[in-house]
A and B are shown apart, each in its own frame.
Chain A
Amino acid sequence: MTAGNGAYRVVGTRPVRHDGVDKVTGRARYGVDAHMPGMVWGKVLRSPHARARIRGIDTSRAEASSQVLAVVTGDDFPDPGAGEAEANESGMQSLRYMAERVIARGRVTYEGQVIAAVAAASVHEAEEALSLIDVDYEVLPPVLDVREAMRDDAPVILDDLYTETGGVFDDNPSNIAKHFIFEEGDVEAGYAAADLVMERSYSTAMVHQGYIEPHNALAHWNQDGHLIVESSSQGHFGIRDELATMLEHPKSKIRVLPAEIGGGFGGKTTVYLEPLAAVLSRKIGRPVKMTMNRTEVLIGTGPAPGAFMTVKMGVTNEGKITAVNVDLAFEAGGYPGSAVSAGCLCCIGPFDIENFRVDGYDVIVNKPKSHAYRAPGAPQAEFAVDALIDEICQELDMDPLDFRRLNASKEGDLRVDGTRFHPIGNIETIDAAEATDHWQSELGESTGTKRRGRGVASGYWLNGGGKSSAVARLNGDGTVTLLEGSMDIGGTRTSIAMQLAEFLGIPIEDVDPIVPDTDSIAFTGVTGGSRVTFATGWAAIEAAEDLKDQMVEGLADYWDVPADSVTFEAGVFSQNGTSLSFQEAAAALQEDGLEVVGKATASPDGSGNTFAIHIADVEVDTETGKVEVLRYTALQDAGTAIYPPYVEGQMEGGVSQGVGWALNEEYVYSPEGRMLNASFLDYRMPTSLDLPMIETVIVEVPNPGHPYGVRGVGEVPIVPPLAAMANAISNAIGVRIRDLPASPREVQAAVAASS
């Protein structure tokens, strides 16, 4: 298949979304709505300590309680052994660490880690019974800062963890789980050729995805050994596979039902409650339902890692980058597996640099085990690079868009991993930014303590491919029921259905997309990595092609002509001057008793990288430190925007989350490692009152790796806001902001220090 030419009938239009009515009328079924006859409730006992040895867990008082139906601890789960397993968006993970993250075995590495779980007839009884479990802790001093954790004399949090560098392990245990290195060219020669060399350090805080819907799970372990689980996740196949691994239970005996999801952003690509509910259910023979409250979500799930980063860059007086060093140290949390590797691969993605070295360190600290958050690793890493570039542009007195255009990566240029870029829309996005009304407009005057500034930043994200499945069933009335394996987070039912409708030449209203359970369709990868509209869309196109081929065969028989004399174009089947519309053909084939079901499992590879440019105007009150966002414009290359409102929605959402990351959001800890702001009252996320109307510009440079030119769009818009905001604030107050969040306290302190 080749990339389309943009002459589409369905692709690029703005139909009513298929799931819209149910969602706005409250009828959509979310995980928390799940219910089964005989269902009971489970609750979790969590560690109040950030670092401890567990000397013993006494469940006897709880088990003696008439209210308690079952109690589980780590002893109720299979010994995970020493192997590794694929863990959805987290790459390869140690089985032991995966298991301990679900329920502790002998040690605690963060506050909120699960110690035990209880089932009772009501949620209140279950919660009350938690106080009947006695845990004997040997409390240890926590390590809460990434730099502290990397020191040679730091307490070692996991005594069975040895630093790995390129397949070689250090001899002594360490808090550094892994050291990534990527190097090309001659960095020292690059610096020698530079007119200006600048080096700065930056930090970002641990932040949460902030999805509205807390985690939930309903599990029923049937007497016949089948486990049925319903939960809201970003990939029910991944949930099934992780359950199979942790419970040592065959995948064929686990069925996971997808629920609608109230936000995930990467944080719902792994199991938390599902294994606990399953084992409780196995113990008592009844369905067990569990839900988290907001505090549990914040302390017990997987936020994005905090980071400490140092960037050194050499440039000529004309603004050409000659060399760069990037050092990234990410807080993995209580177990290994931060997104630092993706940070390494993305940090200089927008720039063509011949000489570079990127070092990434995955570091254990006594905070929640981090997990994926929208473009995992890229926002932190690209913030550091783009903030330094802003300072360099200021030093060179150079327009930041001109600097980006001069150094822009393009087709054939080297990526950090050593491979080369396919066709990309980086320069086109920069050009589009320059043409915006925003960039061409004056910032407006600063008055008194209200100082105005403008910032610009780049964004780059890799985008994923992987395996996806789709089934297209022809109905007698000419409609098509589309089963697709991807959990729908960002409206992908419609964006996938539109690609099928485009191929078949039928109205989008004639396609009914459904996300079935894991027994009803072949494997489909997680909804993450901005892969779904690309990869599952590709599977839907192949399923449509299969369906069309079967219709051609059936109509050849109906017309009693050779199949190769039947043609198909724009939804019309023809042979020798006779034509049938798609609907007429469906009716004819039904009359003939033919069932037509097209199916495909695709694993496309050419996902196509994507780029963004954001422009932010702010007004900073130097007296209070408050930052007001006056105007914000986001641009990105979508390849081909299948459903433009969803692309715009992703851009607006990414900006909102990125602005929160830049200005306010952070995990605040006591010295003992207890989170002090574990509620949405104290964990400050932006609301609609904090944000202006976000302007969006979709740039379309079709991806030749997809039949309709799709590039993933969901992740890159969270990348630029951190640097765009920091650069804008610095421009406003004349002081560099290098540590995020730029909360009023930090801004006030920066202003005070400068004066």
Chain B
Amino acid sequence: MATVHIPTPMREATNGAARVEIEGATVREVVERLEASYPGLGGRLVEDGQLRPGLSAFVDGANVGRRLRTRLQPESELFFVEALGGG
């Protein structure tokens, strides 16, 4: 199962949990299962079928941007990180 790190402002949806274990072969599948387990969370991550503008996904330390089709390994670590605004 992938370990998903939940952005701090969204942890109210996971009852405060900073990390959750979710099965999924791609980032998209993980997001869909997050929504099923924690209603409302998926909508804060994905908008119109894409990762919400301003968010980037990191899979095992690599920035995969907004590519929801990125494949995950069974032990992958998945982060959703606010993209940098330069000013």
Q: Is the CB of B54 within 8 A of A419?
A: no
Residues of B contacting A84 in the complex (Cβ-Cβ under 8 angstroms): 53
**Interface with B: A371-379, A571-579, A588-596, A685-693, which one?**
A371-379
Given contacts A91-B54, A419-B79, A605-B62, contact A181 B9 (CB under 8 A): yes
Residues of A contacting B49 in the complex (Cβ-Cβ under 8 angstroms): none
- With beta carbons under 8 angstroms apart, the residue of B44, B82, B86 that contacts A339 is B86
Given contacts A417-B79, A419-B58, A419-B61, contact A166 B8 (CB under 8 A): yes
Residues of A contacting B58 in the complex (Cβ-Cβ under 8 angstroms): 419
Q: Is the CB of A417 within 8 A of B81?
A: yes
- With beta carbons under 8 angstroms apart, the residue of A304, A341, A372, A373 that contacts B82 is A341
In Å, the complex CA distance between A737 and B27 comes to 48
* A584 within 8 A of partner (CB): no
Q: Is the CB of B85 within 8 A of A342?
A: yes
Residues of A contacting B25 in the complex (Cβ-Cβ under 8 angstroms): none
- With beta carbons under 8 angstroms apart, the residue of B8, B44, B63, B83 that contacts A183 is B8
Residue-wise interface mask of A (261-305) relative to B, using a CB-CB cutoff of 8 A (1 in contact, 0 not)? 000001001000000000000000000000000000000001011
Q: Is the CB of A371 within 8 A of B79?
A: no
Q: Is the CB of B44 within 8 A of A168?
A: yes
Q: Is the CB of A465 within 8 A of B87?
A: no
In Å, the complex CA distance between A529 and B62 comes to 17
B56 to chain A, nearest CB (A): 10
Given contacts A417-B79, A419-B61, A420-B61, contact A167 B44 (CB under 8 A): yes
Q: Is the CB of B85 within 8 A of A165?
A: no
Q: Is the CB of A91 within 8 A of B83?
A: yes
Residues of A contacting B7 in the complex (Cβ-Cβ under 8 angstroms): 166
* A684 within 8 A of partner (CB): no
* B10 within 8 A of partner (CB): yes
Residues of A166-188 at the interface with B, using a CB-CB cut-off of 8 Å, are: 166-168, 179-184
Q: Is the CB of B81 within 8 A of A418?
A: yes
Residue-wise interface mask of B (9-47) relative to A, using a CB-CB cutoff of 8 A (1 in contact, 0 not)? 110000000100000000000000000000000011100
Q: Is the CB of A419 within 8 A of B44?
A: no
Q: Is the CB of A165 within 8 A of B61?
A: no
Residues of B contacting A89 in the complex (Cβ-Cβ under 8 angstroms): 86-87
In Å, the complex CA distance between A708 and B12 comes to 44
Closest to B13 in A: A166
Query: Which among B7, B61, B81, B82 has the greatest number of chain A C-beta atoms within 10 A?
Result: B82
Closest to B12 in A: A166
Q: Is the CB of A167 within 8 A of B86?
A: no
In Å, the complex CA distance between A184 and B18 comes to 8
Q: Is the CB of B84 within 8 A of A465?
A: no
A325 to chain B, nearest CB (A): 13
- With beta carbons under 8 angstroms apart, the residue of B43, B81, B87 that contacts A376 is B87
In Å, the complex CA distance between A463 and B85 comes to 13
Residues of A538-553 at the interface with B, using a CB-CB cut-off of 8 Å, are: none
Q: Is the CB of B9 within 8 A of A339?
A: no
Residues of B contacting A337 in the complex (Cβ-Cβ under 8 angstroms): 85, 87
B contacts with A, residue count (CB < 8 A): 24
Residues of A contacting B9 in the complex (Cβ-Cβ under 8 angstroms): 165-168, 179-181
Residues of B contacting A749 in the complex (Cβ-Cβ under 8 angstroms): none
B5 to chain A, nearest CB (A): 5
Closest to A164 in B: B54
In Å, the complex CA distance between A269 and B86 comes to 10
Residue-wise interface mask of A (173-211) relative to B, using a CB-CB cutoff of 8 A (1 in contact, 0 not)? 000000111111000000000000000000000000000
Q: Is the CB of B8 within 8 A of A181?
A: yes
B16 to chain A, nearest CB (A): 10
Residues of B59-87 at the interface with A, using a CB-CB cut-off of 8 Å, are: 61-63, 79, 81-87
In Å, the complex CA distance between A713 and B18 comes to 33
In Å, the complex CA distance between A184 and B7 comes to 10
Q: Is the CB of A166 within 8 A of B10?
A: yes
* A389 within 8 A of partner (CB): no
In Å, the complex CA distance between A460 and B87 comes to 18
Closest to B80 in A: A418
* A92 within 8 A of partner (CB): yes
Q: Is the CB of A372 within 8 A of B54?
A: no
Residue-wise interface mask of A (319-346) relative to B, using a CB-CB cutoff of 8 A (1 in contact, 0 not)? 0000000000000000001111110010
* A90 within 8 A of partner (CB): yes
Q: Is the CB of B84 within 8 A of A342?
A: yes
Given contacts A167-B52, A168-B44, contact A418 B86 (CB under 8 A): no
Residues of B contacting A92 in the complex (Cβ-Cβ under 8 angstroms): 53-54, 83, 85
Closest to B60 in A: A419
A271 to chain B, nearest CB (A): 15
Q: Is the CB of B44 within 8 A of A166?
A: yes
B28 to chain A, nearest CB (A): 17
Residue-wise interface mask of A (513-533) relative to B, using a CB-CB cutoff of 8 A (1 in contact, 0 not)? 000000000000000110000
Query: Which among A92, A167, A345 has the greatest number of chain B C-beta atoms within 10 A?
Result: A167
Given contacts A419-B58, A420-B61, A422-B61, contact A377 B87 (CB under 8 A): yes
Residue-wise interface mask of A (429-448) relative to B, using a CB-CB cutoff of 8 A (1 in contact, 0 not)? 00000000000000000000
In Å, the complex CA distance between A338 and B9 comes to 19
Residues of A447-478 at the interface with B, using a CB-CB cut-off of 8 Å, are: 462, 465
In Å, the complex CA distance between A362 and B63 comes to 24
Q: Is the CB of A372 within 8 A of B86?
A: yes
* A88 within 8 A of partner (CB): yes
B83 to chain A, nearest CB (A): 5
Residues of A577-631 at the interface with B, using a CB-CB cut-off of 8 Å, are: 605
A542 to chain B, nearest CB (A): 18
Residues of B contacting A181 in the complex (Cβ-Cβ under 8 angstroms): 8-9
In Å, the complex CA distance between A305 and B86 comes to 11
- With beta carbons under 8 angstroms apart, the residue of A90, A166, A184, A417 that contacts B85 is A90
* A370 within 8 A of partner (CB): yes
In Å, the complex CA distance between A417 and B55 comes to 12
Q: Is the CB of A373 within 8 A of B8?
A: no
Closest to B53 in A: A92
In Å, the complex CA distance between A102 and B21 comes to 46
Residues of A contacting B63 in the complex (Cβ-Cβ under 8 angstroms): 465, 605
In Å, the complex CA distance between A272 and B49 comes to 33
Closest to A607 in B: B63
Q: Is the CB of A88 within 8 A of B86?
A: yes
Q: Is the CB of B10 within 8 A of A304?
A: no
In Å, the complex CA distance between A89 and B83 comes to 10
Residues of B contacting A340 in the complex (Cβ-Cβ under 8 angstroms): 85
In Å, the complex CA distance between A376 and B85 comes to 9
A718 to chain B, nearest CB (A): 13
In Å, the complex CA distance between A339 and B62 comes to 23
A336 to chain B, nearest CB (A): 9
In Å, the complex CA distance between A193 and B83 comes to 33
- With beta carbons under 8 angstroms apart, the residue of B43, B79, B85 that contacts A341 is B85
What are 19 sample pairs from A and B whose C-beta atoms fall under 8 A apart?
A: A88-B86, A89-B86, A91-B83, A91-B84, A165-B9, A166-B44, A168-B44, A180-B9, A181-B8, A337-B87, A341-B83, A341-B85, A342-B86, A372-B86, A417-B79, A418-B79, A465-B63, A605-B62, A605-B63
**B residues in contact (CB < 8 Å) with A:** 5, 7-10, 18, 43-45, 52-54, 58, 61-63, 79, 81-87
The 6 A-B residue pairs whose C-beta atoms are closest, nearest first, are: A166-B9, A89-B86, A167-B44, A372-B86, A91-B85, A339-B87
**A residues in contact (CB < 8 Å) with B:** 84, 88-92, 165-168, 179-184, 266, 269, 302, 304-305, 337-342, 345, 357, 362, 370-373, 376-377, 417-420, 422, 462, 465, 528-529, 605
